[in-house]
């Protein structure tokens, strides 16, 4: 059996922390609680997201929020200075899914445009559904935006509502207020819904007064009918929203079940490698898979990718080294590849198939991944 290809197992993890200059020119919207995360969003970003949310109200739209954060006097301050539109998503009137192509685009634009800034949260729309996080939204936030400073921003462009959500005491809670800021010297102008004042009718003759009184009575009856009809539609909307939430809850259960199965298969593969005295050649691993010593749902694809990886090493005398990496909070496959000096597009297939990953957007804290070592 050829011993030229060896797999080495190592453990790695990482963490980062910085400080920033907080905005000096800002306006307060809502009621900012003392112990809440302090969110500052730049005026140009706020207006751009408002415009984006109105561009298509037939489905949910989203974006990634870019900026930075700091801790001062025990308070978390988050500053949103840029955004990246989430393109290539799978979206409907009540759901938004970030696809493989979406994350590729986001990470590419992040590195190209804002390499020195962080992903500090995400934004999506709820056309005519109000401001809340559905079960599926909570799943996204808990798995992809689970760092203490990362936030969610929801806009309902039809009802003209918007709100931020924070991590507080390990739970996701809605903020009561936030700040809109701009550079010093620039005025901050945010259009609010206009409310017209009722004009008092001028003094008329008794005949005109009688006519106006009759019109007023007719308007009152019409308004009562309209309110009754509106109340019925509102109840229908609440019922529909409840049905959607129930469907999303069932989807979440299926996703969790699939995640458990994937995790067990990954552990089975990693344990099979570790049981062979800490070192296993690529040839040994291929033979184990072909002899069904380790069973994977996508075993044939694993073999294909592993053999392709061996062929791409050019010379069989070269060592094909692997490491085991433990996923930490905030990790994505693109980020992990970047931190380990791996070309994402070249290595993603072997990483996906070797670790039995069904969705590149679904990795979990504590999950062990086999990675080819960068040069």
pLDDT in tens, 150-189: 999 999 999 999 999 999 999 999 999 999 999 999 999 9
pLDDT of residue 131: 96
Backbone angles phi, psi at 154, to 5 degrees: -115, 135
Q: How far apart are CA 49 and CA 84, in angstroms?
A: 10
Q: What is the mean pLDDT of residues 37-49?
A: 97
pLDDT score for 93: 87
Task: Give the tens place of pLDDT for each residue, 272-321.
Answer: 554 443 445 555 556 666 654 445 555 566 667 666 666 665 444 345 67
Check whether domain 25-182 has CATH 3.40.30.10, yes or no: no
Query: In the chain, pLDDT over 70 holds for what percent of residues?
Result: 72
pLDDT at 5: 34
- Report the C-alpha gap between 140 and 118 in whole angstroms: 18
Integer Cα distance of 188 and 177 in angstroms: 17
For residues 196 and 238, the model is more confident at: 238
Query: Would you state the structure tokens that stand for residue 316, as one six-digit string?
Result: 């069989």
Rounded-to-integer distance, Cα 206 and Cα 157, Å: 46
Question: Hey, what are 69's tokens?
Answer: 């954060």
Burial of 278: CB neighbours in 10 Å, binned 0-12, 13-18, 19+: exposed
- As annotated, the residues of the chain forming the CATH 3.40.140.10 domain(s) are 25-182
HSE-CB of 225 using CA atoms within 13 angstroms = 6
pLDDT at residue 2, rounded to an integer? 40
Please tell me the CATH superfamily of domain 258-372, with its number.
Answer: LysM domain (3.10.350.10)
Which pLDDT band, with edges at 50, 70 and 90, does 350 fall under?
A: confident
The residue-averaged pLDDT of 32-59 equals 96
pLDDT at residue 352, rounded to an integer: 86
> Of 183-187, 221-225, 272-276, 355-359, where does mean pLDDT reach its minimum?
272-276
Q: Are 80 and 134 in contact (CB under 8 A)?
A: no
Choice between 86 and 206, residue whose per-residue pLDDT is larger: 86
Q: How big is the chain by its Cα radius of gyration, in Å? A: 27
Are 96 and 121 within 8 A, CB to CB? no
User: What local confidence, expressed as pLDDT, does residue 369 receive?
Assistant: 87
User: Does the pTM of the predicted model rise above 0.75?
Assistant: no
Write out the residue limits of the CATH 3.10.350.10 domain(s) in the chain: 258-372
């Amino acid at each position: 059996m050829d011993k030229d290809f060896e797999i080495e197992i190592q453990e790695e993890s990482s963490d980062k922390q910085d400080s920033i200059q907080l905005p000096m020119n800002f306006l307060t919207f809502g009621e900012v609680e003392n112990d809440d995360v302090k969110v500052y969003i730049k005026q140009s970003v706020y207006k751009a997201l408002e415009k984006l949310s109105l561009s298509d109200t037939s489905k949910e739209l989203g974006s990634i929020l870019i900026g930075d954060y700091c801790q001062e006097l025990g308070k978390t301050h988050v500053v949103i200075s840029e955004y990246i539109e989430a393109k290539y998503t799978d979206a409907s009137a009540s759901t938004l899914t970030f696809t493989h192509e979406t994350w590729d685009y986001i990470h590419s634009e992040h590195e190209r445009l804002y390499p020195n800034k962080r992903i500090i949260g995400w934004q999506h729309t709820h056309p005519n559904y109000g401001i809340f996080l559905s079960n599926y939204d909570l799943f996204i936030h808990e798995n992809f935006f689970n760092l203490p400073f990362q936030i969610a921003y929801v806009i309902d462009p039809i009802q003209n509502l918007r709100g931020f959500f924070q991590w507080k005491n390990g739970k996701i809670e809605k903020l009561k207020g936030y700040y809109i800021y701009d550079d010093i010297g620039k005025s901050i102008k945010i259009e609010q819904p206009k409310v017209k004042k009722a004009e008092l009718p001028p003094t008329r003759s008794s005949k005109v007064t009688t006519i106006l009184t009759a019109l007023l009575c007719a308007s009152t009856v019409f308004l009562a009918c309209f309110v009754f009809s509106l109340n019925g539609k509102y109840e229908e909307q609440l019922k529909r929203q409840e049905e959607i939430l129930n469907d999303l809850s069932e989807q979440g259960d299926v996703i969790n079940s699939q995640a458990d199965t994937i995790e067990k298969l990954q552990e089975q593969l990693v344990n099979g490698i570790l049981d062979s005295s800490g070192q296993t050649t690529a040839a040994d691993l291929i033979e184990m898979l072909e002899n069904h010593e380790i069973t994977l749902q996508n075993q044939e694809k694993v073999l294909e990718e592993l053999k392709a990886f061996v062929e791409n090493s050019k010379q069989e005398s070269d060592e094909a080294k692997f490491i085991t990496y433990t996923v930490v909070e905030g990790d994505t496959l693109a980020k992990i590849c970047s931190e380990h000096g791996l070309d994402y597009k070249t290595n993603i297939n072997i990483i996906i198939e070797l670790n039995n990953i069904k969705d590149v957007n679904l990795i979990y804290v504590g999950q062990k991944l086999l990675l080819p070592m960068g040069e």
